[in-house]
Amino acid sequence: MFGFNKSSAPAFQNLTPAQFAEGLRQPGAVLVDVRRPDEFAAGHLPGAVNIEVTAPDFGQRVADLDKTKPTYVYCRSGARSANAAGQLTTAGFAQVSNLLGGVMDWPGQLTTK
């Protein structure tokens, strides 16, 4: 009734850009950009796949990803990707990390390729 038994901590990790970059070096890490396709096309982290979190087929598209691999998500500021990270965790992904501050705080180069 009052939520005493509910955990308020997210089931995913929020990482600083430095922690996020270090995590991406893990073998098998999957990087997902959850922004709109036009945002992705304007510049994204190298190696990212674009799966828009607000698209109707988001759940279907992420179902094709390997739930056992470490999965790193980001967006523009970290809000949409926190939402996506929560959805991935609920869907059974074992290790999900969200980039705090999104690409706005990312110190590295973005690519359009």
Which residue in the list 15, 30, 48, 75 is annotated as catalytic? 75
Contact call for residues 51 and 58 (beta carbons, < 8 A): yes
Distance CA 36, CA 51 (A): 8
Catalytic site residue 75?
yes
Query: Active-site positions?
Result: 75
